C-alpha cells in the first residue's frame, strides 16, 4: 500500500471541502439517524479486532469503530479527505488508495467495511475481489449502500408532478451507468447498478449473506425522516467469508 504518494487525482477532490463541512462531527442525517444505528448493531459485541474501511472519506466511521475497540485502517483516494482523517485522528492509520488496487495483507482483517462507497467505485469487480481477499476466513464484509432503486432515480431524485406534489421517479433500472449528482457544493459521480449486480458479485466471490436490512430512520427532523420513509434509500448487507 502506498502511504505517502498521491494516487492519480480523485474525482472527489473538488468536493472534499464541502464534504467535510457536510459531515460535521456526527455525519449527515442519513448517517446519524439511519445508517449508523444499523451498522453499529452489526458491530457491537461481535469481537471484531481489526477493520478495513474502504472509501473511508474523512474517517468518521473509523473513529467510531475505534470507540468500539476495533483497530482500523482507512483507505480513500481523495488526498484532502485522508489529510482530514489524519488531522482528526493523528494516531490512526489512513492510507491513500483506490479499492480496485487495494494492497493489504491477504486474510488480515476481521471486518471490511464499505460505508456508502460502492456507489462511488468505478471498478466494482476488482474492488470487491480485493475486499474479499483482505478478509480473514470467517471474516465479515459489512456494506451500507444507496439502494439500486434510489440510484435508478438519479440525478433528478425528488421532482414535482403537474400539481406540485413531490415524486421520485426511477427509470432504466437495468442499465448500469454513472450519473453526476450535486448538492450543497458537492458534485460527484455515483454509479447506478441493479441490485442483482451487487448480489451476484458477492455470491460468486463465495461469500454468504448473513444479514440484509433497509434501515428505518430513528429520530431527527420529522420532514427528513418522512422522506427517508417514502423512497427506498439505503440498505445494509453483511456477508461472511467461509472457512472460520
Ligand X SMILES: C[S@@+](CC[C@H](N)C(=O)[O-])C[C@H]1O[C@@H](n2cnc3c(N)ncnc32)[C@H](O)[C@@H]1O
**Separation of first and last alpha carbons in the chain:** 26
* Interface pattern 79-108 for ligand X (x via CB under 6 A): --x----------------xxx--------
Number of residues that bind ligand X (CB under 6 A): 21
CA distance 129 to 149: 24
Q: Which stretch binds ligand X (CB under 6 A): 111-119, 152-160, 200-208, 231-239?
A: 111-119
Residue 174 cell numbers, joined: 437495468
Q: Please, are residues 233 and 146 in contact by the beta-carbon 8 Å criterion?
A: yes
Choose the stretch contacting ligand X; rule: CB under 6 A; options: 87-95, 109-117, 153-161, 230-238. Answer: 109-117
Contact between 153 and ligand X (CB under 6 A)?
Answer: no
Q: Does 233 bind ligand X (CB under 6 A)?
A: no
Q: Among 207, 187, 188, which residue's Cα sits nearest to residue 121? A: 188
Counting contacts by CB under 6 A, is residue 55 touching ligand X?
A: yes
Under DSSP, is residue 74 helix (H, G, I), strand (E, B) or coil? strand
151 binds ligand X (CB under 6 A): no
Q: Which x/- pattern, by CB under 6 A, does the window 112-141 give for ligand X? A: ---xxx--xx--------------------
- Closest C-alpha to 153, from 227, 91, 213, 208: 227
Q: Which stretch binds ligand X (CB under 6 A): 51-59, 153-161, 166-174, 225-233?
A: 51-59
Nearer Cβ to ligand X, position 40 or 167?
40
If you search the block for the grid coordinates 460505508, which residue do you land on?
115
Distances in Å between the alpha carbon of 91 and those of 60, 63, 66, 87, 105? 14, 11, 11, 9, 21
Residues at the site binding ligand X, with contacts judged by CB under 6 A: 10, 12, 23, 54-57, 60-61, 76-78, 81, 98-100, 115-117, 120-121
Amino acid at each position: 500500500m502506498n502511504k505517502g504518494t498521491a494516487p492519480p487525482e480523485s474525482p472527489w477532490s473538488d468536493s472534499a471541502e464541502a464534504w467535510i463541512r457536510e459531515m460535521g462531527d456526527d455525519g449527515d442525517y442519513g448517517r446519524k439517524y439511519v445508517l449508523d444505528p444499523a451498522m453499529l448493531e452489526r458491530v457491537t459485541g461481535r469481537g471484531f479486532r481489526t477493520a478495513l474501511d474502504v472509501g473511508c472519506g474523512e474517517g468518521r466511521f473509523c473513529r467510531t469503530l475505534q470507540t468500539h475497540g476495533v483497530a482500523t485502517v482507512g483507505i480513500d483516494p481523495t488526498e484532502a479527505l485522508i489529510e482530514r482523517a489524519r488531522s482528526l485522528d493523528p494516531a490512526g492509520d489512513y492510507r491513500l488508495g483506490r479499492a480496485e488496487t487495494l494492497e493489504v495483507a491477504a486474510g488480515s482483517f476481521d471486518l471490511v467495511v464499505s460505508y456508502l462507497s460502492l456507489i462511488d467505485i468505478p471498478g466494482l469487480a476488482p474492488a470487491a475481489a480485493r475486499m474479499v481477499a483482505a478478509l480473514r476466513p470467517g471474516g465479515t464484509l459489512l456494506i451500507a449502500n444507496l439502494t439500486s432503486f434510489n440510484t435508478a432515480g438519479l440525478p433528478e431524485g425528488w421532482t414535482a408532478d403537474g400539481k406540485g406534489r413531490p415524486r421520485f421517479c426511477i427509470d432504466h433500472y437495468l442499465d448500469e451507468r454513472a450519473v453526476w449528482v450535486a448538492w450543497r457544493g458537492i458534485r460527484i459521480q455515483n454509479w447506478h447498478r441493479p441490485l442483482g449486480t451487487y448480489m451476484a458479485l458477492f455470491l460468486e466471490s463465495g461469500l454468504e449473506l448473513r444479514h440484509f436490512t433497509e434501515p428505518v430512520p430513528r429520530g431527527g427532523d420529522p420532514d427528513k425522516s418522512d422522506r427517508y420513509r417514502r423512497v427506498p434509500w439505503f440498505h445494509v448487507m453483511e456477508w461472511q467469508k467461509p472457512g472460520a
